[in-house]
Structure 1
Amino acid sequence: MTPKKKARQAIKAKIRDIIRHGGSTPAVKLIAKLNAAVAGWVNYFRVGNASRAFSEVRDYLEMKVRTLLTRRKRRQKRSVGRRRWSNEYLYGVLGLYWDWKTRPLSGAEEFRVKVAVARQDP
């Protein structure tokens, strides 16, 4: 199971809406809302082969947060701000969601053992 393009577009739209409707909400509160949305999406697709989709959404999320921070500082927008807003700042100081690992479904190992035993017994 891997997230389809429609699912990736839906979470990106949700990220975009949260940031767009954030207004003058402090960055930490905005990050908390983003974390809640992204954590739910990641936990739903975590059991499958979703590492590529996770990296795509994570890159999008980082870009949107950096753009927001740059816009709030009212500086010239030469780039997305990777130098200015490093990963250490995003994840360490602001507390952006960072648990993007896939995990096997609970009980999957027991199922594999049962299947292997069943195949051996004719």
Structure 2
Amino acid sequence: MGKHKPIYDPSSDCGDYVVVINAKHVGVTGRKREQKLYRHHTGFPGGLKEATMEQLQQKNPEKIVEKAVSGMLPKNRLRQVRMGRLLVFPDGEHPYADNIMKRYDTKIPLVTQPID
């Protein structure tokens, strides 16, 4: 949001970009991988589409993180602006490695298991 900046204004988004890497290694507890459903509607009659988390992770792993973050943001006009500042990559490789000023994964032990 940019609350740490001196130019902060609640009606405008002056925040920073966020880069999320390794989206295909997202871990969940329990049976969420098989039971959690992601739904969207195409707009046509009978156009409700459903996919489990496991199917979505194989097809488009970035969508899982994007939908989770989007659900946590306030539902207002700044939501799309803030989502535009979220950059999600399925692997550890991304073109913004030189621009990152602060890393948050140095204190968290990363235990990931690759998906078969």
TM-score bin, normalised by smaller chain = under 0.3
More helix by share: 1
Per the normalisation by structure 2, the TM-score is 0.26
**Structure number with bigger Rg:** 1
More strand by share: 2
Per the normalisation by structure 1, the TM-score is 0.25
